[in-house]
Amino acid sequence: MAIKHGVITAQEALRYAMSVPGVTTTITGIDSLEVLRQNLQIAQNFTPMTEAEMNALRARCKPDAADGRYELYKLSLKFDNPESRLAHGFPLATQQSEVKDMLGAEMNTGHPFPEKQF
Amino acid sequence: MAQQQSNQSQQVPEGQVPKKRLGKTGVQVSAMGLGEYHLGSAETDQAANEIVAKAIDHGVTFFDNAWEYHDGLSEERVGKALKGKRDQVFLMTKVCTHGRDKKVALRMLEESLRRLQTDHLDLWQIHEVVYDNDPDLVFAPNGVAEALVAAKQQGKVRFVGFTGHKDPEIHLKMLSHDFPFDTVQMPLNCCDMFRSFETHVLPEATRQGIAALGMKSLGGSGELVRHGAVTPEQGLRYAMSLAVATTISGVDTMQVLDQNLKVAVDFKPLAEAELQALRDQCRFLASDGRLELFKMTTKYDGKVGREQHHFPTTQELPL
């Protein structure tokens, strides 16, 4: 999100995350060779950021990011897995692709779904 | 029509909604407050007038509104309904800067006063402190906190406070500034177990002598009742029994007002054992927060605040 909005680059974001003390590994999702190449280039040339570099990046992000607008997964149920929403009785977003898949799967298997309806 | 009205008044017992102390202000307010966002949803101005008149007749004095409710309609309706009755109520509205500065706040104050047809508010609160950086923005130089002080000095507002529905941590951050808030509004109900305001914020407000104002006693839009956790009577009784000055309940029809008045007239707080029995009754449904989605998703945050924080619209962020 922050990258799409031009607040930071992918290089800065990954290098920051990989520099956070105490992190053993930084997991990053890959859906194309292009993304893999980009990430490998960052990881292979990786040197940890200094504390000053990290602070500078935090300061740059703060005006835009401090309200959480780029981390909606912390703020909205929309990003929670439909399976776990269902187990907790939370509403499903029927337009979500995962939910559509689940509803489709139910049609094939005949399993009762959703088990509990509010 | 007259027959209908007399039937309605028969449903509500004679008597008055009791008064409670509003923190350290020396003022007494009704133990149930009229939530006027919902007055903007009432069918007509006339329906809103009748709701306001009947509420006042039964001793409701606490009036809750906000600059942004229904783009000003809620304030306009209350302004009309209070003609000749302004002195009988404790009039509150909220300022909706959502991070903007003092000047914007004071302009909103003038607009609220004009719509409410009055020269002063009894209480002016910062609306919807729900984003993580809102406390920083509130207390920034030239921020809305300075507007509260200025408005008080100018005699346009008697008391000041803030409200929010999202996270006890944000409320506690607001309360850590030693700012002379008179009131703090928060969601309080018998399903408030996830991110509990009752557990985390109410004791701190009480410790500081700041009057707590309860809201969302039935989940905001009756969720607690619709999902079978409690009856409306149980939900209201629970919320009104807590250490709050008032419990604000939204009213959009005479039916809802009557239901509320039946509980609130001559109200006596529940004993601790009864409160615990209601918590136990709700625990299975409520402990993961499923009936208080306003704490967990931006869907319930107002559009003015979203715009200021550059958050997606409700349509872009469906639940």
ipTM of the complex, rounded to two decimals = 0.79
Check the CA dihedral B286-B223-B12-B93 and report its sign: positive
Distance of CA B5 to the CA centre of its chain: 28
**How many Å lie between the alpha carbon of B230 and the closest alpha carbon of chain A?**
15
Residues of B in contact with A89 (CB under 8 A): 285, 288, 290
What integer pLDDT is reported at residue A98 of this predicted model? 76
Q: Which of A67, A76, A78 lies nearest to residue B309, judging by beta carbons?
A: A67
The C-alpha atoms of residue A96 and residue B96 are separated, in whole angstroms, by 33
Contact A76 B296 (CB under 8 A): yes
Helix axes B45-57, B254-264, angle to 10 degrees: 10
Residue B60 Ramachandran class (φ > 0 left, ψ -120 to 50 alpha, else beta): beta
Instruction: Provide, as residue numbers in chain A, all residues whose Cβ is less than 8 Å from the Cβ of B288.
Output: 88-90
Q: Name all domains of chain B by residue range, CATH numbers in brackets.
A: 15-309 (3.20.20.100)
pLDDT in 10s for each residue of chain B, 319 residues: 333 444 444 578 889 999 999 999 999 999 999 999 999 999 999 999 999 999 999 999 999 999 999 999 999 999 999 999 999 999 999 999 999 999 999 999 999 999 999 999 999 999 999 999 999 999 999 999 999 999 999 999 999 999 999 999 999 999 999 999 999 999 999 999 999 999 999 999 999 999 999 999 999 999 999 999 999 999 999 999 999 999 999 999 999 999 999 999 999 999 999 999 999 999 988 999 999 999 998 888 999 999 999 998 877 765 5
Which pLDDT score, from 0 to 100, does residue B6 have?
Answer: 43
C-alpha distance from A104 to closest chain B C-alpha (Å): 20
Cβ(B317)–Cβ(A76) under 8 Å? yes
Q: What does the alpha-carbon distance between residue B311 and residue B303 come to, in Å, rounded to a whole number? A: 9
The answer to whether B172 touches B262, Cβ cutoff 8 Å, is no
Position B12 scores a pLDDT of 86
Q: What is the pLDDT of residue B173?
A: 98
Task: Kindly state the greatest CA–CA separation across chain B.
Answer: 58
Chain B hits for A75, CB-CB cut-off 8 Å, are 296-298
Cβ partners under 8 Å of residue A76, min gap 6: B296, B297, B298, B299, B317, B319
Residue B85 or A4, more confident: B85
Helix, strand, coil percentages (3-state) for chain A, rounded to 5, are 55, 0, 45
Residue A106's pLDDT is 53
pLDDT at A104 over 70: no
Question: How far is Cα B277 from Cα B236, in angstroms, rounded to an integer?
Answer: 15
B285 touches chain A (CB under 8 A): yes
Interchain CB distance below 8 Å, B290 and A89: yes
Q: Which of residues 61-100 of A touch B (CB under 8 A)?
A: 64, 66-69, 72, 75-78, 88-91, 93, 95
Q: How close, in Å, is residue B218 to chain A by CA atoms?
A: 16
> Are B288 and A93 within 8 A, CB to CB?
no
Q: Determine which of A67, A74, A84 to mutate to test the interface with B (most B C-beta atoms within 10 Å).
A: A67
Task: Determine the residue among A69, A85, A88, A92 to mutate to test chain B binding: the one whose Cβ has the most chain B Cβ atoms within 10 Å.
Answer: A69
B131, B293, B299 ranked by CB distance to A67: nearest: B131
Residues on chain B touching A90 (C-beta within 8 angstroms): 288, 290, 293
CA A28, distance to chain mean position in Å, is 9
Contact: B131, A76; criterion CB under 8 Å = no
Which pLDDT does position A86 carry in this prediction?
86
| Contact between A78 and B134 using a beta-carbon 8 Å cutoff | no
CB contact under 8 A, A69 and B310: yes
B131 touches chain A (CB under 8 A): yes
CA B53 from chain centre, in angstroms, equals 19
Report yes or no: B120 at the A interface, CB cutoff 8 Å: no
Listing DSSP states for B182-204 in one string gives SEEEEE--TTTTTT-HHHHTHHH
Going by pLDDT thresholds of 50, 70 and 90, the confidence category of residue A92 is confident
With a CB-CB cutoff of 8 Å, which residues 206-245 of chain B face chain A? 227
The answer to whether A7 and A64 have CB atoms below 8 angstroms apart is: yes
Kindly identify which residue of chain B lies nearest to residue A80, measuring between CA atoms: B319
Task: Quote the minimal CA–CA distance from B45 to chain A in Å.
Answer: 34
B128 in contact with chain A, both atoms CB, cutoff 8 A: no
